[in-house]
Structure 1
Amino acid sequence: MLRPRRRSPSTDQKTAESAKEGSKWYATIALAAVICYLPSIDGDFVFDDKEAIVRNPIVQRFDISRLLQTDFWGREIRSSDSHKSYRPITTLTFMVNQNLSSKATYFHLVNIVLHALVSLLVCKTTRQICQHFQSSPRIADYTAFLFAIHPIHAEAVANVVGRAELLMTLFGLLGLSLYLQNDSKIVFPSLCVIFSMFSKEQGVFFLLSFVAFDVLKSRYSKQRPLGSLLTKINIYYLILFALLCGTRFWINGFQCPQFSKLDNPAAFHENFYVRVVNYFYIYILNFWLLIFPKNFSFDYSMGCIPLITDLGDARILSFGAYLLFAIVFTILHRKLQDSTKLLMYYGLIFIVLLFLPATNIIPVGFVIAERVLYAPSIGYCLFISLVFYHLEKQSSSSNVSPIWLLIAPLMVSRCITRSLEWRTEKELFLADLSVCPKNAKIYYNLAKVQADDGDVSLAVENYRSALQLRPDYEQALNNMANIYQRQGENSIAIDLLQKSINANNRFATAWMNLGVNQMAMGQFNESRKSFRSALEIRPHYADAYFNLGNLYLKQGLQYQAESCWKNATLIEPSHHRAWTNLLVLMDEQGRYQLVTSLAEQALRKVTQKTASIRFQLAVCQAKLGFYSDAERNLVKVVEDNPSSALYKTNLGILYEKWNKLEKAADVYRDVRKTDPGNAFAVERLRKLQMK
């Protein structure tokens, strides 16, 4: 009888030691990933976070019904003003986060955990690849550790909207891992890539990494020539890739996003050769950020990287980097074993495939975006780890190469400092000014923060700095006009807004703000034309309808005003100012019953700033004699706004009508404590004391 061959004790011991070492590496990688970005956990919602989360009605209202119809920023995906970024899975995680807690801390916590999980998956998948090519698992450990601590990931991890990159990479690597386990099973790897693509568009390119691996594996096992792709599995993945790309274009309505010259100057240059030269220069800068991750910026547009327009530009010399890379590649090709060579090839292919969407094959809305290097950096980390491993073997050292003792602390330190910079917008913008001092957008964003903080003089100064660098910067002109409008300087505001419109006559916000200032100056006909221009450019513009309604009310056109405010609430159901104006108008018309039903409807849709709506509901409930309901709503309003004398005095009036005079007196006394000079409360209290 044949018996199974027993494994030797030494083999079992080696397996156990290998598993133990692997567990240590997994723990080290996860811990390093968390330590690097933990400083960002108490950060605010910064930059794009506000648009994608704080001001996104889909996220704020947990509107599942519209999740699949809108882009990443909450706009209709097929509308002309949509960014065409379709990431429903990422948006869904924001919705869940928001529903559990609206604090930014919990959003940052999820990002940090996701980065740790991705780092572990990098280790797992790279180990699987090493196993297929019979290479050392230590290469995978180095790759994942370098990935976990690389500072280039700060934007993807510390900026909440970077979750799109994290989820895309997580699902993509999970699909790759399942594919590596059993390449004949296609369902779950395919589903993972679909999830990856709907986390961020770039994820669909993971399918091509499956095909690339199959080709390299076949080359390694000598089953097929390197150029052979025509296997059933590869054909399936290539067809799926084409179908998913087609699906994405269909979702967009076969429209591409509209970017401006300010977003990506190279893409808009009329000379083809200038475009190509600048694209290849930008690729070098991206690679340099991976090699030397020191100087970062949240934005590299608007003069940060001037265009190369002639061969006399000294930056042309940087193209020697391509030659240097070719030399390093050739040396490694000669020095490395066949199995390790294939790992190097795969790392380079991975970089190219995952970076391909950012190469301006289809123009993108940025010059450099650090976040888009999150997934491609896996290939870079694999390439560098191969170099380290080769050097380690050459030195006959069984320990981790001493070079890690130099690199790791520097990278962790840079991760921590960059995470701290991402905590607040002001810290971020001030830090990035030193990197891109000619970038008008940084001055513009810094001015916005200063204006919100009440530092009006500093805000104007930085808007002017932005305009010195870019005189036709329409957003800066518009925002500076808003400051002058708030100061009552409407004529100056109008002049700035007309300059903004001259720079971009499709800028709907500038048209609307021009209408607001013209209305304040009594130029009603011009104001109406401006609002109409805004609505022609952006038909679903709630604020424009709201302000047009205000104009009609000033002209005594109540029916038209009501229609405009209704349109505003239909377009943006959380538009509390439109709801309030609509309810006040109906109250003045004596339509109390309609006010109560509409106000209750509004409160189901408006999640923030509900006081004015609830107050108007209470007023009409009191007029209808529903004193208990009115009391409940007014008490709620007063609790939410304890310093408001208006709400408190109206509660006192309600108690007087209800003949609860002692309660009314208590309310008026409370008003006197917080507002001793309130003549109305003093007079009402005096009359009550006389009764």
Structure 2
Amino acid sequence: MKGMNWIVKGSSVVLTLAFLAGCASTPAGPDSDFSGLYSGKSDLTFSTLMPIESAAEGIARGDAARARGELDQAIFEYIRTLELEPNNPESFYKIGAINLQKEELTKAHTAFQSALENDPDHAGALEGMGLVLMQMRQPERARIVLEKAVSLDPKLGKAHNALGILADLRGDFGRAAEHYNDALMLSPLSARLQNNLGYSHYLSGEWDLAERAYLAALNVDPWHQRAWRNLGQLYTRQERYDEALEVLTEVMSEAEALNTMGYICMSGERLEDAEKFFTRAAQASPSYYVTANENLEQVRRLIAKSGS
């Protein structure tokens, strides 16, 4: 297995920060040499902030701003800590975490990479890098990084959830369930985790366990749309059609629910049932007439083909 070759030595960001370290008394701000880490409000917005005396103070101020939801100011404060301590991995990690939250993946990648150059065993930065790599559609690299993260800190719930998703993608459902359960030990009231566990059981054919997990998700969050949809899909696959319709109409119109059930039946090659649901969908709503009838024509072609 190849090593983690994503860590680029001699990052230009680190070199730039090192150059600025001698003039920390005049904060540069996000609009100067930190474009690789920040995109947001101009540094003029924060020109009235008091200077910081230490990196610890800057991190504390950044944490307080982040807790208030002022993400741009939080990054500004973390960058000021880097002007005092250019190799502070915690500051880079926190900048990366906010950029990940803002879906600024390139900037998050740059920040996490810089954190790991200064501390290769920073578990939080490893988790963040793994999540970025997942969103960049690099699952194998993400898995390597995330596994190192949880080996250093088993209490990283996001990493366990991500590893569960990656295990599902490669068909290792047993390992996926282990990671989801590890995450649930840390966040037992997470509807998202229960739903992910349920879908993993659904994929592996353990439908009773899937139902139990979906219901647990809805017990935590009765408005969790994905769990309602997944439960409706499960009931349709089990031919529990009345229950499926009842469940799906919690989050969609009757016509959309019937069309969804028809599509699931068609995918499962239950063509007569699919025809029935598409017909009912077309009758249920004029706005759904075209869509349902297109599906109905398709399923009738499949029925004719299977009978020829």
Verify the 8 A CA contact 1:478 1:496 in the aligned structure 2.
yes
Instruction: Choose which of 203, 206, 210 in structure 2 pairs with 1:591.
Output: 206
> Against the structure 1 CA distance between its residues 570 and 632, is the aligned structure 2 distance closer, same or farther, given a 3 Å change threshold?
farther
- Give runs of aligned pairs for residues 195-234 of structure 1, distance below 5 A: none
Verify the 8 A CA contact 1:508 1:537 in the aligned structure 2.
yes
Instruction: Choose which of 177, 184, 188 in structure 2 pairs with 1:573.
Output: 188
- Residue equivalent to 2:75: 463
Measure the CA separation in 1 of the matches of 2:167 and 2:124.
19
Measure the CA separation in 1 of the matches of 2:186 and 2:226.
20
1:547 deviates by 0.8
- Residue equivalent to 1:500: 115
Verify the 8 A CA contact 1:500 1:510 in the aligned structure 2.
yes
Matched, 1:611 2:225: yes
- Residue equivalent to 1:522: 138
The code of the aligned residue for 1:615 comes to R
Measure the CA separation in 2 of the matches of 1:654 and 1:550.
22
1:570 deviates by 3.6
SS of 1:600's equivalent?
Answer: helix
Verify the 8 A CA contact 2:279 2:292 in the aligned structure 1.
no
> Against the structure 1 CA distance between its residues 622 and 572, is the aligned structure 2 distance closer, same or farther, given a 3 Å change threshold?
same
Measure the CA separation in 2 of the matches of 1:669 and 1:445.
53
- Residue equivalent to 1:478: 96
- Give runs of aligned pairs for residues 112-127 of structure 1, distance below 5 A: none
Measure the CA separation in 1 of the matches of 2:257 and 2:62.
41
The code of the aligned residue for 1:650 comes to T
- Root mean square deviation of aligned Cα: 4.4
> Against the structure 1 CA distance between its residues 488 and 481, is the aligned structure 2 distance closer, same or farther, given a 3 Å change threshold?
closer
- Residue equivalent to 2:242: 628
Higher relative contact order (CA 8 A, sep 6+): 1
The code of the aligned residue for 2:97 comes to N
SS of 2:221's equivalent?
Answer: coil
SS of 1:614's equivalent?
Answer: helix
1:474 deviates by 3.6
> Against the structure 1 CA distance between its residues 668 and 467, is the aligned structure 2 distance closer, same or farther, given a 3 Å change threshold?
farther
SS of 2:250's equivalent?
Answer: helix
- Residue equivalent to 2:304: none
1:437 deviates by 5.1
Measure the CA separation in 1 of the matches of 2:129 and 2:222.
27
Can you give the 5+ residue segments of structure 2 that lack an aligned partner in the other structure?
1-24, 26-44, 266-272, 301-308
- Give runs of aligned pairs for residues 281-680 of structure 1, distance below 5 A: 434=48, 436=50, 438=52, 440-441=58-59, 442=61, 446=65, 449=69, 459=72, 463-464=75-76, 466-470=78-82, 471=86, 472=88, 473-482=91-100, 486-487=103-104, 489=106, 493-502=108-117, 507-519=122-134, 520=136, 522=138, 524=140, 526-604=141-219, 606-607=220-221, 610-638=224-252, 649-650=259-260, 653=263, 657=274, 659=276, 663-666=280-283, 669-671=286-288, 680=291
SS of 1:637's equivalent?
Answer: coil
**Cα offsets for 1:436-458 (capped at 9, x unmatched):** 4546454666578366xxxxxxx
> Against the structure 1 CA distance between its residues 521 and 598, is the aligned structure 2 distance closer, same or farther, given a 3 Å change threshold?
closer
**Cα offsets for 1:32-91 (capped at 9, x unmatched):** xxxxxxxxxxxxxxxxxxxxxxxxxxxxxxxxxxxxxxxxxxxxxxxxxxxxxxxxxxxx
Task: Number of aligned residue pairs: give it.
Answer: 239
- Residue equivalent to 1:683: 294
What is the TM-score with the length of structure 1 in the denominator?
0.29
**Cα offsets for 1:362-391 (capped at 9, x unmatched):** xxxxxxxxxxxxxxxxxxxxxxxxxxxxxx
> Against the structure 1 CA distance between its residues 622 and 513, is the aligned structure 2 distance closer, same or farther, given a 3 Å change threshold?
same
Measure the CA separation in 2 of the matches of 1:599 and 1:574.
13
**Cα offsets for 1:283-302 (capped at 9, x unmatched):** xxxxxxxxxxxxxxxxxxxx
Measure the CA separation in 2 of the matches of 1:488 and 1:463.
15
The code of the aligned residue for 1:478 comes to G
**Cα offsets for 1:205-258 (capped at 9, x unmatched):** xxxxxxxxxxxxxxxxxxxxxxxxxxxxxxxxxxxxxxxxxxxxxxxxxxxxxx
Measure the CA separation in 2 of the matches of 1:515 and 1:574.
24
1:687 deviates by 7.0
> Against the structure 1 CA distance between its residues 523 and 631, is the aligned structure 2 distance closer, same or farther, given a 3 Å change threshold?
closer
1:495 deviates by 3.2
Measure the CA separation in 2 of the matches of 1:687 and 1:528.
40
1:465 deviates by 5.7
Measure the CA separation in 1 of the matches of 2:229 and 2:155.
28
Verify the 8 A CA contact 2:173 2:204 in the aligned structure 1.
no
> Against the structure 1 CA distance between its residues 488 and 476, is the aligned structure 2 distance closer, same or farther, given a 3 Å change threshold?
closer
**Cα offsets for 1:113-137 (capped at 9, x unmatched):** xxxxxxxxxxxxxxxxxxxxxxxxx
Identity of aligned residues (%): 16
> Against the structure 1 CA distance between its residues 654 and 505, is the aligned structure 2 distance closer, same or farther, given a 3 Å change threshold?
closer
Measure the CA separation in 2 of the matches of 1:523 and 1:598.
25
Measure the CA separation in 1 of the matches of 2:139 and 2:231.
34
SS of 2:236's equivalent?
Answer: helix
Measure the CA separation in 2 of the matches of 1:586 and 1:504.
37
1:478 deviates by 1.9
1:615 deviates by 1.6
- Residue equivalent to 1:284: none
Can you give the 5+ residue segments of structure 1 that lack an aligned partner in the other structure?
1-302, 304-430, 452-458, 673-678
Verify the 8 A CA contact 1:652 1:665 in the aligned structure 2.
no
Verify the 8 A CA contact 2:165 2:176 in the aligned structure 1.
yes
